[in-house]
Amino acid sequence: MKIALAQLNYLIGDFEGNLSRIVDAVQKASGNGADLVVFSELSISGYPPLDLLERKDFVTTCNRYVEKLATSIDPGIGVLVGGPEFNPSKEGKLLYNSAFFLYEGRIQQIFRKSLLPTYDIFDEYRYFEPNRDFHILEFRNRRMAVTICEDLWDEQPFENEFSHSRLYTTNPLESLVRQKPEVIINLAASPFSHMKMEVKQAIFTGKATRYKLPVLYCNQAGSQTELIFEGGSLAVNPGGQVVRRLKFFEEDFDIIDLDELIHHKPNPDAGQIPDRIGSMADALICGISDYFRKMRFTSATLGLSGGIDSAVTLALATEALGPRNLHVLLLPSQYSSQHSVDDSIALAQNLGVKFDLLPIESVFNQFRKTLRPLFGDLPEDITEENIQARIRGTLLMALSNKFGNILLNTSNKSETAVGYGTLYGDMSGGLSVLGDVYKTDVYLLARYFNRENEVIPENIILKPPSAELRPDQKDSDSLPPYDKLDQILEAYIERQLPPEQMTGLGIEPGLVQKIIRLVNQNEYKRYQTPPILRVSSKAFGIGRRLPLVARY
């Protein structure tokens, strides 16, 4: 039997577009002699549709397009496609997260998801009823265990110290294996995390090894707002070795001969985990590109300061959108160093990006003059620093409004975590590119872009980071060194460790308490940030929900 894996990039609610992609893949599979073609989880609707699932008309349309797909394709090929399904019972949630088996022009069988994640970015139990009825797909004298994403991930480890060794009390695969399948098929919509690549692959290789069965995993590619899906669909032999892997961060297609997979020796390169920083760069480029394409935006802007964050953001955006679709502004004040201006110009020229130089000193002085009757002889402080940031934000938004260039936010995760940014100033934007990237990784991304030749001027990478909002200002005036800061933040945000358990980091307790206090105090700022491209296991945004008004 030949089984095709169709790794596609869907758009939520674009039923005609999704159907067209799916039909093209089925035709390709049929033309290449495939017996069955597998698509990803909720592929008809796009994943995750969120509260669109609460609209009866949305789900009805999904069902109609599943039926339309069944009648639009070669009736001689089998298709497994994901979509929401109305619960036929009068009890429980209104929907199932289902995989429809299409053959001979109609829905022949339906497989429903059992394990519904409700952690981090996932909230599937909000919409779906868990499946409790397990059955095998029998097709062309083959027995197949059809699972949907989490149903294969029942033993995944958690980083939180309060988690159980097993997240779920049921094991769908155990129930299916008792029915003696010959292959495990998994339809998934699994988002990218730069620290989870090995863990994710180990889930599939581990299941294959345990049950001595081949595993076929079909993930979706592309991004949906802040979520990025790396693709990387897999074919694993019964010995737990990766035989075939589809491309990362783009659509791909492959046909697996099941008999060959059972006896096939692995491709030594297929199971290799890609470079972490390279994968992060690819993910961010994918996130920018898809956000603009799917929102029908064409051009972008940002403020190029001469610092590392705006430099890396521009390098990523240039890869994603092309230099012709970028127009950036250099907005120096009287506190900006000449080398920051020179470095910014050199970077823009290296990348072939249009730029304009708009000094803000005269505008800033006009603000001072206007506010003097109110402020009197009070000394200058963070107020004047924030005014400069907001002047820059206003000018960038003016360019955005006049020419339609979407403003890219350049704040990194370290700054966003501790509130080192100005609301309606440097925290403005339509999309946050680095908001889930710690400062130490921003430097590694810069080195990644310079791996073949100098794209980002070396001086930008080497000079001490500074907001340049007052004379001789350095980030280290307000924050500890970023290597220490990021250690504390990662332990607190990603691993959710309490302060007393961070002593092993070798950092003084007083500094730990100070940083945690800053993180907690600045939750209100993060509520007002643009969508943040997610590349970690715990990003700010929909996956981290904390109360604004709290005392903990």
pLDDT digits (tens, 9 = 90+) for 457-510: 999 999 887 777 778 777 777 789 999 999 999 999 999 998 888 877 788 889
Q: What is the DSSP letter of 303?
A: B
Which comes out higher in pLDDT, residue 443 or 480? 443
Q: Are 150 and 289 within one domain?
A: no
pLDDT of residue 173: 94
Sign of CA pseudo-dihedral 119, 124, 127, 131: negative
- Amino acid identity, residue 522? N
Q: What is the mean pLDDT of residues 301-314?
A: 97
- Amino acid identity, residue 249? F
Give the number of other Cβ atoms within 10 Å of residue 357's Cβ.
12
Count of domains in the chain? 2
What is the rounded end-to-end Cα distance, in angstroms, of the chain?
58
Q: What is the mean pLDDT of residues 331-360?
A: 95
pLDDT of residue 478: 79
Q: Are 488 and 457 within one domain?
A: yes
User: Of 62, 149, 218, 286, which is the active-site residue?
Assistant: 149
Tokens of 1: 């039997």
Q: Please give, one letter per residue, the 3-state secondary structure of 232-254.
A: CCEEECCCCCEEEECCECCCEEE
* Measured CA angle at 394 (ends 393, 396), to 5 deg: 65
* Dist. CA 173–CA 415, nearest whole Å: 43
Cis ω before 48 (30° cut-off from 0): yes
Does residue 163 surpass a pLDDT of 80? Answer: no
Percentage above 70 pLDDT, the chain: 97
Does residue 266 surpass a pLDDT of 80? Answer: no
Does residue 169 surpass a pLDDT of 80? Answer: no
- The residue written with tokens 């000079």 in the block is 463
**537 part of a folded domain:** no
Domain residues for the domain of 448 are: 280-526
Which comes out higher in pLDDT, residue 167 or 292? 292
**542 part of a folded domain:** no
Q: Are 317 and 260 within one domain?
A: no
Those residues with Cβ within 8 angstroms of residue 529's Cβ, 6 or more apart along the chain or in another chain: 409, 411, 416, 427, 432, 435, 540
Q: What is the DSSP letter of 272?
A: P
Closest CA to 459 of 360, 341, 352: 341
Phi/psi region, residue 542 (left: phi>0; alpha: psi -120 to 50; beta: rest), is: alpha
Q: What is the mean pLDDT of residues 388-417?
A: 97
Q: Are 262 and 299 within one domain?
A: no
| Integer Rg of the chain from CA | 26
**285 part of a folded domain:** yes
Q: Are 40 and 158 within one domain?
A: yes
Look over the chain and give the mean of its residue pLDDT values, rounded to a whole number. Answer: 94
Q: Are 220 and 356 within one domain?
A: no
Tokens of 458: 């070396």
Sign of CA pseudo-dihedral 70, 72, 73, 74: positive
**318 part of a folded domain:** yes
Closest CA to 31 of 80, 1, 81, 76: 76
* Dist. CA 465–CA 20, nearest whole Å: 48
Q: For the stretch 1-35, what's the b/e string if a residue is b when 16 or more beta carbons lie within 10 angstroms of its beta carbon?
A: bbbbbbbbbbbbeebeebbebbbebbeebbeeebb
Q: What is the mean pLDDT of residues 366-382?
A: 96
**512 part of a folded domain:** yes
SS3 545: coil
**275 part of a folded domain:** no
Closest CA to 217 of 424, 228, 206: 206
Residue 552 pLDDT grade (very low, low, confident, very high; cuts 50, 70, 90): confident
Q: Are 160 and 285 within one domain?
A: no
CATH code where residue 483 lies = 3.40.50.620
Q: What is the mean pLDDT of residues 531-549?
A: 92
Residue 239 CA, chain-centre distance (Å), reads: 31
Does residue 368 surpass a pLDDT of 90? Answer: yes
Q: Are 254 and 329 within one domain?
A: no
Which comes out higher in pLDDT, residue 425 or 158? 425
Q: Are 250 and 308 within one domain?
A: no
Q: What is the mean pLDDT of residues 115-130?
A: 93
**272 part of a folded domain:** no
Residue 166 pLDDT grade (very low, low, confident, very high; cuts 50, 70, 90): low
Listed range (75-79, 84-88, 165-169, 379-383) with the worst mean pLDDT: 165-169
113 catalytic per annotation: yes
CA within 13 Å, CB half, 421: 30
149 catalytic per annotation: yes
Which comes out higher in pLDDT, residue 552 or 432? 432
Does residue 273 surpass a pLDDT of 80? Answer: yes
User: Of 41, 85, 230, 490, which is the active-site residue?
Assistant: 41
Over residues 6-65, the pLDDT tens digits come to 999 999 999 999 999 999 999 999 999 999 999 999 999 999 999 999 999 999 999 999
Q: Are 315 and 246 within one domain?
A: no
Q: What is the mean pLDDT of residues 205-222?
A: 97
* Dist. CA 476–CA 420, nearest whole Å: 12
Over residues 91-102, the pLDDT tens digits come to 999 999 999 999
Does residue 438 surpass a pLDDT of 60? Answer: yes
* Measured CA angle at 123 (ends 273, 196), to 5 deg: 15
Listed range (135-139, 155-159, 466-470) with the worst mean pLDDT: 155-159
* Dist. CA 195–CA 426, nearest whole Å: 28
Tokens of 194: 């730069």
Does residue 187 surpass a pLDDT of 70? Answer: yes
- Decide which of 220, 237, 266 is a domain's last residue: 266
Q: Are 257 and 284 within one domain?
A: no
User: Of 62, 85, 113, 439, which is the active-site residue?
Assistant: 113
Does residue 551 surpass a pLDDT of 90? Answer: no
- The residue written with tokens 């993180």 in the block is 519
Listed range (67-76, 182-191, 501-510) with the worst mean pLDDT: 501-510
**551 part of a folded domain:** no
* Dist. CA 467–CA 476, nearest whole Å: 11
pLDDT of residue 136: 97
Which comes out higher in pLDDT, residue 227 or 548? 227
Q: What is the mean pLDDT of residues 380-388?
A: 95
> What is the secondary structure of 125-137 as a DSSP string?
GGTBPPP-----E
- Amino acid identity, residue 394? T
Reported as type and span, the H/E element at residue 38 is: strand 36-38
Does residue 165 surpass a pLDDT of 60? Answer: no
Q: Are 474 and 389 within one domain?
A: yes
